[in-house]
Structure 1
Amino acid sequence: MLLIETLFIVQIFIFVFFPTMKEQNKLVEGINNCESEIKFEKVLIKNDSEWDAALQEVYDIIKGRSDCKFGVTDFQKISSSYSKSRQTLTIKPKFKQDISILNVKKAKTDGYAKELKKVVDSWPKNLSDIQKIEKINDYIIGKSDYYYEVLNSAQGDNMTTKNGFYYYSWQAIMDEGKGVCEAYSSLFKRMCELCGIECETVSNADHAWNRAKVNGEWKYFDVTWNDTTNKPRKYFNLTQAQMAADGEH
């Protein structure tokens, strides 16, 4: 279940207002440190449309960076202010949870990241990319159960694990072995990146899955449905046409 409503999205981000890695790193570092204001100088914004586009880039960076310890569901809102005379854009993240919970989440996230790296590093070094993805698929299926209660709850995206992770995040699976499709797809993407495999999230109004580059070709994977249908290879290594054939992807 997604917080966005769109027909079809492949998350490919092009940054205009935060074009350099230095700027993006500054944003991620500020988010990870739970700063209330993150200032960027020499940013030229001409109108409200560009202002909105700059704020959208902030969300895109948060979604796209695996080293960002918080996801979009962690924020009550992210606002901004702009000084035209100084060409200074100030990003103002407002978290849903207090600092004590956020600090626990940061520490846990670091631990879970190390745990995933150990898992990947334990695999034979001569595996092909598709063999690595098989192991990723099987690891996530063995680790997680789909958490239907999130969809059935009036709380929706406010439901969290005992350590404060929203069930839309990959950390929820590591924390409690539960999550919804966004958690599955984000964990799949993270593990692919650890294996050096290019991977992106694909989504529509109701669901999220992945595509990964195998032998130079994009192939599609849906670990959530591989788990919930109890057929671990049903939505695995498919072409876009094969994935879309059911009318729900």
Structure 2
Amino acid sequence: MLKRITFLVILVVFAKPVYDEASKFLTDRVPAENVTVETAEPIKAERTSDQQLIETANQTEQIAQATKPAKVENVEQLAEAFFYHFSRLDTEFTIEYRGSTAEIERLLTKATEEAAQRDTYIAGHLSNREMEYEYSKTKATIRVKQSYLTNLQQEKAVESMVDSIVSTAQPEEMTDFEKVKFVNDYIVKNTEYSEESIASSHSAYAVAYEGKGVCQGYALFAQKLLEALGMESMYVVGEVYTGGHAWNLVKVDGEWYHLDTTWNDPVPDRGNGVRYDYFLLNDRDMRVDHSWEAAAYPKAESSTYSFMHVVQDSYEFGDDIYFSHSEDENKLYKLNKTTGKMTKVADVRALYIVGAGDWLYFSNYSKGAYLSKIRMDGTELTTLFKEEVKDLFIEGDYVYFTAESGAKKVAIEGNI
């Protein structure tokens, strides 16, 4: 006689982790004078058309390598069968199991857990699951309804986006450190922490194509990019003070480190503003405000890159990173990526740093947050626009920025 049991598995996706933004500076505002400033036309970052990519997606293509087992007679084969269907993002499937069913519920729980562990990117996109099974002492028919935070079309689009991003990186010429920094910077600069996305905000697709998402989406897309750059990476599930949270572990030059791209992204969003507070941390430093099941992940013990944790609002030029020092009143510093040596460039509080030629442009919080420029050797500090400015970026021959009076641009001709 067959027995029938139905049960529902609710997979929890992570709630929004809230944390305080860095302290704001108080500044005075005065009218601009003796500078040519133009109102800027909006410049929008272009993303590859997701609709074009979706139209070319193969409906039957799986997103990971998996083989359907010829028979399912033990927990390992059962896990392989579940992984096969998970990897294809199958929403309804049936598995015929032949073996002892004395502990059928424990068997199914273990098999689904093992299947998820085979690819944490896929596991991170699993959502609710309903299973119904009919069984006797020696066999079971298992019918599954599985939902996901993504679909085949979206995953095809994510793959295309990853290929496009990686093609700009020249990974064969990059160190492991530079690859991780590239991924961290790309995600932070192009993503706004938000639950208000069209696709699931917990998916890699929302981060890749909408530039919006929550910690789960950040970490899943980071894993996709890191692996595409040849880095060994893991998706980590843990907790912070607000509840469930997700981030990555990544192996750099043979050592494991934590990377939390979500908590490196300022809230409210600051465009090109990037933090490195949670960039290549060891277990000890990460445990200050993160917790996880340590036995499930490799140990991260190195502090090689601890020098990065004071870097904020940076601009790279050659082997040097020019940045705002978060532990020295946001003063302007220079860091050599190879040696880790830091030197102060100028005794000014600088944010929103960008560069052109041998000049740095920034919001000078030592002087009303005015638009200023300085040579990379710390000489010729000059005020360009006497109004509080933010969100600087360079496009062509102009520095674009946002002022109290609106979007503006200043020509950089003659300075480069």
Query: If the length of structure 2 is used for normalisation, what is the TM-score?
Result: 0.44
Match of 1:116 among 162, 166, 174: 162
Asked if 1:225 is matched to 2:263, the reply is yes
CA deviation map 1:115-138 (0-9, x unaligned): 212211332212111211111111
Give the match for residue 95 of structure 1.
Answer: 147
Residue aligned with 2:133, SS: strand
Match of 2:253 among 206, 215, 224: 215
Asked if 1:239 is matched to 2:282, the reply is yes
Structure-to-structure mapping, 1:116-195, within 5 angstroms: 116-124=162-170, 125-147=172-194, 150=195, 161-162=197-198, 165-195=199-229
Asked if 1:71 is matched to 2:128, the reply is no
CA contact (8 A) 1:200 1:211 kept: yes
| Between structures 1 and 2, the one with greater helix share | 1
Match of 1:196 among 200, 209, 230: 230
CA distance in 1, matches of 2:86, 2:108: 19
Give the match for residue 110 of structure 2.
Answer: 53
Q: Which runs of 5+ in 1 are unaligned?
A: 6-15, 151-158
Aligned residues: 211
**1:218 Cα offset (Å):** 0.8
CA distance in 2, matches of 1:209, 1:127: 23
Residue aligned with 1:228, SS: coil
**1:186 Cα offset (Å):** 0.9
Q: Relative to 1, partners in 2 of residues 1:173 and 1:111: Cα closer, same or farther, differing over 3 Å? A: same
Query: If the length of structure 1 is used for normalisation, what is the TM-score?
Result: 0.70
Equivalent residue letter for 1:26 = Y
CA deviation map 1:41-100 (0-9, x unaligned): 445543133333234345545x6245x8x9223x3x331425345534524024389xxx
Give the match for residue 89 of structure 2.
Answer: 32
CA distance in 1, matches of 2:181, 2:232: 15
| Between structures 1 and 2, the one with greater strand share | 2
Q: Percent identity?
A: 19
CA contact (8 A) 1:43 1:89 kept: no
The structure with the larger Rg is: 2
Aligned-residue RMSD, C-alpha: 3.2
Equivalent residue letter for 1:219 = Y
Equivalent residue letter for 1:130 = F
Q: Relative to 1, partners in 2 of residues 1:215 and 1:94: Cα closer, same or farther, differing over 3 Å? A: closer
After the TM superposition, list the runs of 4 or more consecutive aligned residues in structure 1 that deviate by more than 6 angstroms.
Answer: none
Residue aligned with 1:226, SS: coil
Higher relative contact order (CA 8 A, sep 6+): 1
Equivalent residue letter for 1:23 = A
Q: Relative to 1, partners in 2 of residues 1:195 and 1:87: Cα closer, same or farther, differing over 3 Å? A: farther
